[in-house]
A and B are shown apart, each in its own frame.
Chain A
């Protein structure tokens, strides 16, 4: 099932994400996803996220699919050149994985193999273009594929709370031009800014899923404010997390905040993408509180 079909039917699409482990045992990840994420539409599987080496995304996607979940194959341009990227896209389609999310990827310098060669032969835009070309039955070199071409739901990301929203919109337009079918956003903590962004982004006519992170603690939010591009947790939200330490520790404050953001933004977007960051167990409670 391609999630574009759901967007086309006017459904509000809820996705979440999981990160493969640094090891060969996928059982725990799959079990956790089955337990907490089976109520949602599809699960993103990240690709060596934060440039930290982990088990292959494609292999994890297959494990998720075998367990009855719908994986979204995230693919970045950091580790593979255009041959490998296209080859893996075809491999994904061959395994029945048709939902993809194309990203440029963090630089290798930021991860656990800082001496690795950063590839970036393609980038998010040219990768989307490559996927579009494969759908037309030819590769990036213009050479015909054998047999029926793949069909993807091609996702991309955008940062609505960036310090340069206009530049983000310009990049979003390039992604649409290259074939992006839907967008997932970076985590949003300021609904009013998101709503303003969506006013401008709706000109592209592509479904956008609001990115949501459950704030776990003041420390986590401060870290994101200082280090994570496109993420800003406002002061009043930090105060809210500070107010009742036990409640925050139990995750209740975070769930309340996240649910509130979802409810405020829901009329302006076409879905939600939850980045639970280890708090997968809180996702069902969040969905319930947000009325999803």
Chain B
């Protein structure tokens, strides 16, 4: 089980540059989604005139469903400079992987709860750490994509782009670097020094 909580308003507003397309995931019934808070914030954003469209759907963690659901919104997505996703970390990562060249940001933090895991993570994994890093890592989770769960960039251990722990696994930070480069957001690597807060993570 998991809970999604909205990041604080200032943080979300600071992510927004230009026109924005919004995705809400009301997927897993087991999940607590901050529906009313998200709606209120999105209404405010719409009033500012910068929202090209809103898609509220379920199970965005499944890329096949996503494709079908995006079909109706193609023009709105095309018109947007970025996509703001209100979902768990798996959902954000799936959208970010789908739109490789568009900036995708997370509006929520995902917290773990004990019990049944409602989502269907296919390729992407969310650590449910409670302080989502996806906005500074181009939508690739450094906790699950990096063997050491590093949050300040790659270690010196990758050989030919592969991880020192598992030579069949691509270096997560190499992927992050390439993604940031692709979406023109290498400046994200100039963010302040990150120190994880394990107190937000009841499993650790």
Q: Which residues of A contact B (CB under 8 A)?
A: 82, 103-107, 109-110, 118, 120-126, 129, 140, 157-159, 162-164, 166-167, 170-171, 173-174, 177-178, 186, 227-230
Total A-B pairs in contact (CB under 8 Å)? Answer: 91
Q: Are A107 and B154 in contact (CB under 8 A)?
A: no
Q: Are B150 and A120 in contact (CB under 8 A)?
A: yes
With A177-B193, A178-B193 in contact, do A171 and B165 touch (Cβ < 8 Å)?
no
Q: Number of contacting residues on B, CB 8 A?
A: 29
Looking at the complex, which of B1-9, B90-98, B155-163 is the stretch in contact with chain A? B155-163
Q: Are B195 and A126 in contact (CB under 8 A)?
A: yes
B54 contacts chain A at the CB level, 8 A cutoff: no
Q: Are A125 and B156 in contact (CB under 8 A)?
A: no
Q: Are A123 and B164 in contact (CB under 8 A)?
A: no
- Complex alpha-carbon distance, A228 and B150, angstroms: 20
A-B contact pairs, 26 of them (CB 8 A): A105-B155, A106-B164, A107-B148, A107-B165, A110-B164, A120-B149, A121-B196, A122-B195, A123-B151, A125-B153, A126-B194, A163-B160, A164-B174, A164-B177, A166-B177, A166-B181, A167-B153, A167-B154, A167-B174, A170-B153, A173-B189, A174-B189, A177-B193, A178-B152, A178-B193, A186-B156
Main SS class of interface, A = mixed
Using CB atoms, name the residue of chain B closest to A172: B153
Write the nearest CB–CB distance from A289 to chain B, whole angstroms.
28
Q: Which residues of B contact A (CB under 8 A)?
A: 147-161, 164-165, 173-174, 177, 181, 186, 189-190, 193-196, 198
Q: Are B159 and A123 in contact (CB under 8 A)?
A: no
Q: Which residues of A contact B156 (CB under 8 A)?
A: 103-104, 157-159, 162, 186, 229-230
With A129-B195, A178-B193 in contact, do A124 and B152 touch (Cβ < 8 Å)?
yes
Q: Are A170 and B151 in contact (CB under 8 A)?
A: no
Q: Which residues of A contact B186 (CB under 8 A)?
A: 170
- Complex alpha-carbon distance, A230 and B174, angstroms: 14
Q: Which residues of A contact B152 (CB under 8 A)?
A: 123-126, 171, 174, 178
Using CB atoms, name the residue of chain A closest to B167: A227
Write the nearest CB–CB distance from B191 to chain A, whole angstroms.
9
Most chain B beta-carbon contacts within 10 A, residue among A105, A107, A124, A167: A167
With A109-B165, A167-B177 in contact, do A123 and B157 touch (Cβ < 8 Å)?
no
- Complex alpha-carbon distance, A126 and B160, angstroms: 26
Write the nearest CB–CB distance from B105 to chain A, whole angstroms.
20
- Complex alpha-carbon distance, A174 and B189, angstroms: 8
Q: Are A107 and B149 in contact (CB under 8 A)?
A: no
- Complex alpha-carbon distance, A126 and B192, angstroms: 10
Q: Are A173 and B161 in contact (CB under 8 A)?
A: no
Partner of B193, one of A125, A163, A167: A125
- Complex alpha-carbon distance, A126 and B150, angstroms: 10
Most chain A beta-carbon contacts within 10 A, residue among B153, B154, B160, B174: B153
- Complex alpha-carbon distance, A166 and B178, angstroms: 10
With A104-B156, A107-B147, A186-B156 in contact, do A229 and B164 touch (Cβ < 8 Å)?
yes
- Complex alpha-carbon distance, A82 and B194, angstroms: 13
- Complex alpha-carbon distance, A110 and B147, angstroms: 12
With A104-B156, A107-B165, A173-B190 in contact, do A118 and B196 touch (Cβ < 8 Å)?
no
